[in-house]
Amino acid sequence: MPVDRRKAAVFGGALALRLLLLLLFPSLPDLLTGRVEVSTPVTSFKRLQEGLFLYNRNASPYDGGVFHQAPLLLPIFSLLPNAQEYPFPTALFYSLVDLLNASALVTISDSAQAVSGRLYSSVRKQIKWDGVVVAAWFLFNPFTIATCLGRSTAVFTTTGILYALSAAVQGQNLNSMLALGFASYLSIYPALLFIPLVLLCYDRRAQRSNITPSTALFVVKHFAVFLLSIAGLLGISLLIIGDLFALISATYGFQLLVPDLTPNIGLWWYFFIEIFDSFRDFFLGVFWLHLTAYAGSLTVRLRRQPLFVVTSLLGIFAVFKPYPSISDASLYFALLPLYRHIFPLMRYTFFSVSALLYASLLGPAFYHLWIYAGSGNANFFYAITLVWSLGLSLVIADTIFAALRDEWEQENPDQRGRPVKQV
Amino acid sequence: MSANHEDSESSQTAMTSKPSASSLPPPEKPNAIQTRFGVVAAFWAVILFLGFPIWWKTTSIYRAELPIQEMLDWAGGKSCRPVFPLEIRFDTPSLPDLEAQQLLRITQHTLDDLNEFSAHHLRLKLADEEAQQATEKADTALTVRLLAQDDLSSPRSLLDADTTTLDVFYPPSQIPPPSSSISPLSSYIAGELQRLFAEEKAIMAHILSNNAMGANVNTPQSPNSQAQQQISPQLAESITRRLRRSMKYAETYHLAFSLFTPGSAPSSWDIESAVQAYISPLVQVLSPISNFTIDTQVQLYASFSPTTPPPEYDETQQVWTLKEENLSAFINAAEWPLNPSIGSGPTINFILYVPAPSQSPLLVNEGKATSWIIPQWGGVFILNPPSIPTSESTKGNPPHLPANALTPAFLTFSHQLLSLLGTPQTPTSLPLRLQTLIRIRAATLLLSASSTMGSLARLTESLPSIPIPATVASSVSATLSHLSSACDSLRQGRFMAALASARVAETEAERSFFEKSMVGQMYFPDEHKVAVYLPLLGPIGVPLVLGLVKEIRRVVVGWKARRG
């Protein structure tokens, strides 16, 4: 098998860049680890270290209420040398995980599911980037690099999701469900991707074997696999922790009930600081339902492009999750280049890109003004997170619009290129 | 956040209905309509099947059932009529049974005639009669011992200061004949008894009249005014003053004894033995009423605050004097470490002040007093120790205060403690006064717990939106049951038991009234809910509702078209 030289160059370059950054700025990882944009209470590497310390001393890692991540990470990380004394192995490990993610992206891109699936094939399918370019967009995205150097454990969720997708487009349905189960086990929200993902699997199966299996049976079977994979992972975790209730309440309970209102780039923290206590439960429900509601309706609307539904949902999660970080945005931006063909149909590209740039440059500055300089207040930072969310939701809305327009043009070939007036 | 949704909706309309007027787009395909229906249905399914249950579950307020009417009855005095039947035993060693009973009957009759305040009355019993009915034994308030003495012309009585015994000496000739209905001896005894309990009765009348419950109780039978009439205005005045001076009732009091001196001596005192001798016995007998903790401290170089007028030297009597009007500034609250509270419960401060030798002896201007009470706060005693010559010309304070030097101070302190706790000043027997205190406390606690119940009932009725946790309901039922047992005990004359029940009732009542989770929503009127729901749910809801309306209209139009 000939070595793909472009791919090797991109992957090698990405690895070299990460290690070079570590070599040139040895304090960079610790700086990034402390940033609220990179580390959230559920993905922070610092908190992982705390859990690891307790775990290695045979105490429950959830004692002390600092660590809220999945327990399976602990044995993995206890194999690595202490990140404080030897930062290199950990950085190498994270960089390799990034490369793995990138290779999954290459697989997804090469399958061309983004442009033509079972039910739908875009009229613009010739406009597309190949897998190496998509991987390069992911690997050289500053958000990805910051997440990698900041050693956020969200990258493992990213791996789970990307591998679920890559397995699905290759027709390995079982692997896909297992990978999604792994991602959901790490942080609950990927479970919402189940519906579009299972439809993607179904489409691939139907495409290959020409016999369409019963939809309901297919979904139920895969759902069972998905549940079993989560149950299995929980079972292994139980061997590590022992106390199921403590495990669930410290990890999933924490992610669902959002007790830690440390500022992050999302919309929840400020809202729940301000809300009256008696309405807290109600609005927790509202916010989670808001997140859930998109999964079903987007799948119905974009039934013919399940991969695009997954992409858009990931974008929506990056905005409306309880503890979002730039790693979620980087996952969304990793999948967007698959849709190069709809870029010409987008209308607010300039505005949304500037909003995102504006927010990512001013965000750290405003945070500094609020926390360190003391010359601003919480509203400064919250305002900038609003701009960030606005930019992201503009991109999401715009791509959905473009995808729908693309669908419409495929149905009505004679109307191609006509201006659309919004009513 | 609804931007995305709105956009997808609107872009969808843009494509599926009519985008431009110039050339009509192709008609909507049936499967596009179906898709739109699916989208709307998907959103509404989430709202209906997940949203509404969550809304119902998280915003419904748990209100435990409270016995509102019962609580209001207690506060209104309908459930309990506090009565204080004081049992007085007659010990008649020298009288035959029949005559003793006759004397008792007449005395009781006279007493009843004298007494206008029905809630508080005296019940006389013979000592051996008492012994017969051992069950349901009431606390004996007083024992009257009748002793014949030959050389007397009129009866004479003597109250034992250490026990609850009243000795009555009488000339044997005054024993009433079996047929008579009046006798000088019985009138005398009745008068004495009336006098002994006059102050207590006045205090009771005062407490009951200041409360709705007491007032209600009194109106039907003996109106308040009548009870008040019996009490002289001066007595009423002094009772009011004393009640205002005494501490508010608390479950636990902290007693803090402090030695302050402006110099370096005395730096030690025999506080332990003094407390043992004078305070501990008192605390012991007061233990049914409240709990006490004792702390002590010595503070050297304690100066007056700069704004306090310094004591003046009185040439004629060779003493330093403090003006009475300046006493309120005596305590240097800013610098003297007098803890406002140690743990929960109020602190009663007792300050022993030893003036500097150059300002000794220090007295209070009027009447040469050396101590005073600070209302609801504590007491002060100025101790002028005999100065000892340290060097040729200067005088100095002794470095150590021995127990005997502390005796006057601690006698005063124990007296001040009793006053601060609201103990009446008469009669002279301390046990009798303590018993009175128990009855007063039982009455006040009963009334205050009842009125707390009433407040809680009115609060829960007037604010239908506050949650009532189950703990409140259980506290309320505990309060009510203890209140009624306190009331029963009072009726049977068992005042110690009544006080114990009333204390529990008071604690439970306070706990239920000051439940934290109830207070949070007290200031949250219903109108504010609009402000809570609308900003977020409004923008989300409008496109959802419009989408639903459109879909319904389409379905209805299609249905009509098919029929018509």
Tens-digit pLDDT profile for residues A366-378: 999 998 988 888 8
Give me the total of CB pairs closer than 8 Å, taking one residue from chain A and one from chain B: 119
- In A85-169, which residue ranges form alpha helices assigned H by DSSP? 87-110, 131-139, 142-149, 154-169
Residues of B in contact with A418 (CB under 8 A): 20
Residue A139, both tokens: 């690997």
In the stretch 365-394 of chain A, residues with CB closer than 8 A to chain B read 389-390, 393-394
In the stretch 449-468 of chain B, residues with CB closer than 8 A to chain A read 467
Tens-digit pLDDT profile for residues A266-294: 899 999 998 877 788 888 888 998 888 89
What distance lies between CA B296 and its chain's CA centroid?
26
In the stretch 300-319 of chain A, residues with CB closer than 8 A to chain B read 300-301, 303, 316, 319
Q: Who contacts B227 (Cβ-Cβ below 8 Å, separation ≥6)?
A: B116, B117, B205, B209, B218
Please give the average per-residue pLDDT across B319-344, as a whole number: 77
Tens-digit pLDDT profile for residues B204-257: 888 777 765 544 444 444 444 444 445 667 777 777 877 788 888 888 888 889
Please give the average per-residue pLDDT across B114-125, as a whole number: 75
Residues of B in contact with A278 (CB under 8 A): 59, 467, 520-521, 524
Q: Give the angle B326-B329-B334 at the CA atoms, nearest 5°.
A: 165
3 state DSSP class of B396: strand
Nearest to A415 among B5, B25, B532 (CB): B25
Predicted confidence at residue B515, as pLDDT, reads 81
A119 touches chain B (CB under 8 A): no
More confident call, B136 vs B284: B284
Q: CATH assignment of B84-201?
A: 3.30.379
Range in A201-215, B243-257, B518-532 the model is least confident about: B518-532
Range in A42-56, A202-216, A239-253, B157-171 the model is least confident about: B157-171
Q: The pTM is what?
A: 0.68
Q: Which residues of A244-273 are buried (b: 16+ CB within 10 A; e: fewer)?
A: eeebeebbbebbeebebeebbbbbbbbbbe
Residue A174, both tokens: 């079982």
Say whether pLDDT at B436 is over 60.
yes
Tens-digit pLDDT profile for residues A388-408: 999 999 999 999 999 988 888
Of A280, A272, A282, A278, give the one whose Cα is nearest residue B521. Answer: A278
Say whether pLDDT at B449 is over 50.
yes
Tens-digit pLDDT profile for residues B334-360: 788 876 666 778 888 899 988 888 877
Nearest-neighbour CA in chain A from B84: distance (Å)? 47
Where do the domains of chain B lie? 84-201, 250-420
Predicted confidence at residue B517, as pLDDT, reads 75
Q: Which helix (H) or strand (E) holds B320?
A: strand B319-322
In the stretch 55-94 of chain B, residues with CB closer than 8 A to chain A read 55, 57-59
Nearest to A393 among B3, B26, B59 (CB): B3
- The answer to whether residues A41 and A263 touch, using CB atoms and an 8 Å cutoff, is no
Interface test with A, best of B2, B11, B59, B530 (most A CBs within 10 A): B11
A416 touches chain B (CB under 8 A): no
Tell me the one-letter amino acid at B353. Y
Residue A44, both tokens: 């922070």
Predicted confidence at residue A411, as pLDDT, reads 82
3 state DSSP class of B502: helix
pLDDT band, very low/low/confident/very high, at B444 (cuts 50, 70, 90): confident
Nearest-neighbour CA in chain A from B28: distance (Å)? 11
With CB atoms and an 8 Å threshold, state whether A397 touches B3.
Answer: yes
Q: What is the dihedral of CA B422, B425, B428, B430, to 10 degrees?
A: 10
Predicted confidence at residue A164, as pLDDT, reads 95
pLDDT band, very low/low/confident/very high, at B522 (cuts 50, 70, 90): low
> What is the sign of the dihedral through the CA atoms of A31, A36, A42 and A47?
positive
Q: Which helix (H) or strand (E) holds B110?
A: helix B97-114
Predicted confidence at residue B341, as pLDDT, reads 60
Range in A14-23, B76-85, B316-325, B520-529 the model is least confident about: B520-529
Please give the average per-residue pLDDT across B124-152, as a whole number: 67
With CB atoms and an 8 Å threshold, state whether A396 touches B18.
Answer: no
B-chain residue closest to A291, CA distance: B1
User: How many contiguous H segments (helices) and E segments (strands) does chain B have?
Assistant: 19, 17
Residues of A in contact with B38 (CB under 8 A): 297, 300-301
User: In angstroms, rounded to a whole number, what is the distance separating the alpha carbons of residues B194 and B199?
Assistant: 9
Predicted confidence at residue B150, as pLDDT, reads 73
B14 touches chain A (CB under 8 A): yes
Q: What is the dihedral of CA A408, A413, A417, A421, to 10 degrees?
A: -40
